[in-house]
Amino acid sequence: MGNVLRGKNIIVGICGGIAAYKTPQLVRLLKKNGANVRVAVTDGGARFVSELALATVSGERVYRSIFPPVDTTGTDYTRHISLGEWADAFVIAPATANTLAKLSAGLCDDMLTALFIALRPGKPVLIFPAMDGQMFLSPSVQRNIAILTAQGCSIISPESGELASGLSGLGRMPEPESIVSSLEETLHSSPESSPLHGKSIVVTAGPTREKIDGVRFISNYSSGKMGFAIARAAAKRGALVTLVTGPVHLETPPGVTRLDVESAMEMHNASQSFFKGCTIFVGAAAVSDYRPAAPYEGKMKKDDQEIELTLIKNPDILAEFGMQKAPGQLAVGFALETQTGLDNARKKLNTKNLDLIAFNFFDRKTSGFEVDTNILTLIDKDGVTTELPQLPKDSAAERLLDAIEKLYVKAGY
Ligand code: PMT
């Protein structure tokens, strides 16, 4: 990778968590690799690590308030602007729930948050949340992470281990060496270097609705979050992404072409038109396997009789693509199972002629429908099985795309 840090201007932002005690070592490592480092610390951060230590290792003054204690020149009041222009990358480690909330809301009441807003567009921001695992997985923190991810920030999931609370689990900040490696990788990898750059990727997402009559339908709990996360991550890697989605309440990720559909037949027809031209087809939608044979026009009237609904099979979109795909095309699917179901996932991989399948199970607490996290087991066509931990759906999507990139390169395409 060479020394990508040499001569780079890096801002290190430090928030108030116990992991802040590791940041002088982080600054020292960055300097050792040839980077120029400036440090911004929040009031909370300064309670855990001394500004004197940070100033000593960085060789520079440490920034905390937007308002300097004494300013006779007036220039210090615009320091966030000049530093925002100066920086090649911004690393926030550790990031607390409070600062994530401020960053996602666009608040800037200290130097760290003001620098985040003043940073030049397109400069990488790496955020390392560190906190108790339950806090990290709470809906508020996950919502803020989703907002920041959608803005293009890279959020690096905390690691599992012993926590300051005495509990053990998800929440630890990665070691400084690992943070430096993540930064090096980010600075080294541009979208142009991804094998997916310029490739056409079709992603299906969300539920389908199968009409019973004019006002009722059969559907499922899919929110579209997983499929949208995949589309977002693929677009960030420079892919030309088409997202065919059932009815969901989600914003279109930047750079993604979106086609809204309602029923499985509509999803089938919209997807089919891309079968020939796409390089990778990812089926993340929860497509209804059946539809009412004869939907009623208008609203069915209630009477005292029981009714019988005849359901007929919908086409299997992914299986059709799997059977038709030509060399150079990859088919990737999901398998949602209510039990462990790995064998079922393997069966789907084979019968649908897929290159990769992501198994997830349905518990609506940690994985599968609706929640912000997922627990995926990836199985490729050679039987290689990779178990991923519980991750935010955006991180799970990144890991899935890493596996797709590997397969693509391995196949020699
Ligand atoms: O949308 P979220 O709330 O974020 O939830 C994500 C998810 C649980 C919907 C997603 O992770 C997931 O598992 N999607 C597939 C769900 C599913 O329908 O699984 P399945 O085992 O029934 O289908 C297997 C594969 O065939 C899937 O890739 C599916 O998209 C595809 N399929 C199925 C039926 C059909 N008629 N056409 C298809 O393309």
Q: State the DSSP string of 308-369.
A: ---EEEPP-HHHHHHHHPPTT-EEEEEEEESS--HHHHHHHHHHTT-SEEEEEE--SSSSSS
SS3 137: coil
Report yes or no: 356 and 381 within 8 Å, Cβ to Cβ: yes
Please state which architecture CATH assigns to domain 9-189: 3-Layer(aba) Sandwich (3.40)
Paired sense of beta strands 391-392 and 373-374, if any: antiparallel
User: Using CA positions, which residue lies closest to atom 1 of ligand 1?
Assistant: 224
Is there an atom of ligand 1 within 6 Å of 369 CB?
yes
CA of residue 136 to ligand 1 center, whole Å: 27
Pocket test of ligand 1: the residue of 226, 272, 287, 290 to mutate, having most ligand atoms within 8 Å of its CB, is 287
User: Radius of gyration of the chain from Cα atoms?
Assistant: 24
* Residue 294: predicted pLDDT: 96
Report yes or no: 39 and 222 within 8 Å, Cβ to Cβ: no
Residue 313, exposed/middle/buried by CB under 10 A (0-12, 13-18, 19+)?
exposed
Which candidate, 307, 359, 362, places its Cα nearest to that of 332? 359
Is there an atom of ligand 1 within 6 Å of 320 CB?
no
**Closest atom, ligand 1, to C-alpha of 370:** 3
CA of residue 220 to ligand 1 center, whole Å: 10
Could you list the mean pLDDT of each consecutive 10-residue stretch along the chain, which spans 413 residues? 82 97 98 96 98 97 84 69 92 98 97 95 91 92 92 89 79 93 83 84 98 97 97 91 97 92 98 96 98 95 88 98 97 91 95 98 91 95 93 90 94 84
**Closest atom, ligand 1, to C-alpha of 332:** 28
Catalytic residues: 220
Is there an atom of ligand 1 within 6 Å of 224 CB?
yes
Pocket test of ligand 1: the residue of 334, 347, 366 to mutate, having most ligand atoms within 8 Å of its CB, is 334
* Residue 157: predicted pLDDT: 87
Is there an atom of ligand 1 within 6 Å of 280 CB?
no
CA distances from 140 to 117, 181, 246, 256, 328 (A): 21, 29, 26, 26, 41
Q: Which two tokens stand for residue 5?
A: 């840090």
Q: In the sheet where 385-387 sits, what is the strand order?
A: 257-260, 240-245, 200-205, 280-283, 330-337, 356-361, 377-380, 385-387
SS3 377: strand
* Residue 413: predicted pLDDT: 79
Please state which architecture CATH assigns to domain 192-292+310-410: 3-Layer(aba) Sandwich (3.40)
Using CA atoms, how far apart are residues 123 and 79, in angstroms rounded to an integer?
Answer: 18
* Residue 67: predicted pLDDT: 82
CA of residue 135 to ligand 1 center, whole Å: 29
**Closest atom, ligand 1, to C-alpha of 371:** 3
Count the alpha carbons within 13 Å of 130 in the hemisphere toward its beta carbon.
29
Report yes or no: 124 and 130 within 8 Å, Cβ to Cβ: no
Is there an atom of ligand 1 within 6 Å of 36 CB?
no
**Closest atom, ligand 1, to C-alpha of 368:** 8
CA of residue 375 to ligand 1 center, whole Å: 15
* Residue 123: predicted pLDDT: 87
CA of residue 40 to ligand 1 center, whole Å: 44
pTM (predicted TM-score):
0.68
**Closest atom, ligand 1, to C-alpha of 348:** 24
Strand extents, DSSP E, 152-245:
154-155, 159-162, 168-172, 200-205, 210-211, 217-218, 240-245
Is there an atom of ligand 1 within 6 Å of 11 CB?
no
CA of residue 382 to ligand 1 center, whole Å: 22
Domain ranges of the chain: 9-189, 192-292+310-410
